[in-house]
Amino acid sequence: MKLENNRAGKLNRMQSDYECFVPHNLKDIKLNIDDEMNVLINKAYLLLGRLDGMAMLLPDISLFVSMYVQKEAVISSQIEGTQASLVDILQKDNENEKIKETEEIVNYVKATNYAFKRLKEFPLCMRLIKETHSILLSEVRGNEKMPGEFRKSQNWIGYAGSTLKNASYIPPAPYEMDVCLSDLEKYINEDDNISNLIKIALIHYQFETIHPFLDGNGRMGRLLIILYLKEKNLIEYPVLYLSYYFKKNRDRYYELLNNVRFKGEFENWIKFFITGICEISKDAIYSIQRIANLKKNDIDKIKNFSSTNTSNLILIYDYLLKHPFVYSEDIKEVLNVSTPTINKLLANLVEMGILELVSDKKRYRQYVYKEYVDILSEGTFI
């Protein structure tokens, strides 16, 4: 590691003959905010407002949020090496081996829901970050690495098998990390004249640069983005996540983070980050529009198909929005009717083009609401 300048921080040589990077306090960084950045910021605010407005108009916002959090959990976990897709999460198929890999994703959903509730009780702070991290790593890969506790030893970033000698990046030593975290917490909560979108770009960079946990820093750092946007009332619901953008631009993402550290290129990083907010906001808006249109069209299909079974078909349809992969046995939880009647209703939905048959095993016939799953799962395949 070699610094081209010391705009972002300094290198400290340790007794074990390696150098760790110690970032400067963000409040001391002077930025060059040009016209291009201002245009991006204004565009991002407009899109965030539109996204939040559209989300609030959805009649079943809690369902959409639940599905969107699961999607984010999948993509964020994939960045860390998890091989499961959203389909693996939604598909209730005991023969699917990838189901065993989904605990990290389930934890991400739990951690998101927990953190959003805790934000109602006290500000975004290191205590909340540690509590959320403990849920992220509970009983999954990395649970032996002090979940919910900041590290007491040196860590580093590099390819598998790398050491301190050949790491691509070495964060601050623990005694310096504590000061950095204290400064970051103050920066998160202090009032200033900086755009909140610039601030969260810097906060995410600083958190990943400090790398305060032995494992799970990436997932926690990505979750921190949505928590800050919520804290600053830029979003009401957790429907904007940058993991898909970071996944698509993974090499560029890591390159720009390192360019801030070693070259002081804050402005390039901020523009990249805010471009991501614009892109992902547009994607989320489009997803909401498609799901709303799909629901309207399919409800119309059901109403036009049958006058006698409409109410039962709509009850099954509402269940499909929560559970898009379904067995005929599952419908017994929804309707108090015979198995032949259930099979007939599901056949009606297949005939309408709403459901597709996945597995035609005699006892375990599985169906999927494919168009719905296709919209939700975009970007989640390995």
- Per-residue confidence (pLDDT) for residue 295, from 0 to 100: 92
The ranges of the chain annotated as CATH 1.10.3290.10 are 9-287
Condensed to tens digits (0 to 9), the pLDDT of residues 18-60 reads: 999 999 999 999 999 999 999 999 999 999 999 988 877 776 7
Output the CATH code of domain 9-287.
1.10.3290.10
CA dist 145 and 158 (Å) reads 18
List CB contacts of 22: < 8 A, sequence separation 6 or more.
9, 10, 11, 12, 172, 176, 180
Q: How many helices (H) and strands (E) does the chain have?
A: 14, 5
Task: Catalogue the active-site residues.
Answer: 211
Strand (E) positions, the chain? 9-13, 19-23, 325-327, 356-360, 365-368
d(CA 33, CA 27) in angstroms, rounded, equals 15
Is 254 labelled a binding residue? yes
Tell me, which fold does domain 306-376 have in CATH? Arc Repressor Mutant, subunit A (1.10.10)
Task: Answer yes or no: is 369 a known binding residue.
Answer: no
Instruction: Tell me the per-residue pLDDT of 324-366, one tens digit each, with 9 for 90 and over.
Output: 899 888 998 889 889 899 999 999 999 999 999 987 665 678 8
For 139-153, the pLDDT digits (tens) are 766 556 788 999 999
Going by pLDDT thresholds of 50, 70 and 90, the confidence category of residue 94 is very low
The residues of the chain that CATH labels 1.10.10.10 are: 306-376
215 carries a ligand binding annotation: yes
Q: What's the whole-number mean pLDDT along residues 162-175?
A: 91
Q: Indicate the residue type of 99.
A: I
How high is the pLDDT of residue 360?
66
pLDDT band of residue 92 (cuts 50, 70, 90) is: low
Q: Can you give the pLDDT at residue 350? A: 95
pLDDT at 362: 59
Asked if residue 80 belongs to a known ligand binding site, the reply is yes
208-228 pLDDT per residue, tens: 999 999 999 999 999 999 999
Q: Taking the CA of residue 116 as centre, how many other CA atoms within 13 Å lie in the half-sphere pointing to its CB?
A: 19
What is residue 63's predicted lDDT score, i.e. its pLDDT? 76
211 is in an annotated binding site: yes
pLDDT tens sequence across 268-319: 999 999 999 999 999 989 988 898 899 999 999 999 987 778 999 999 999 9
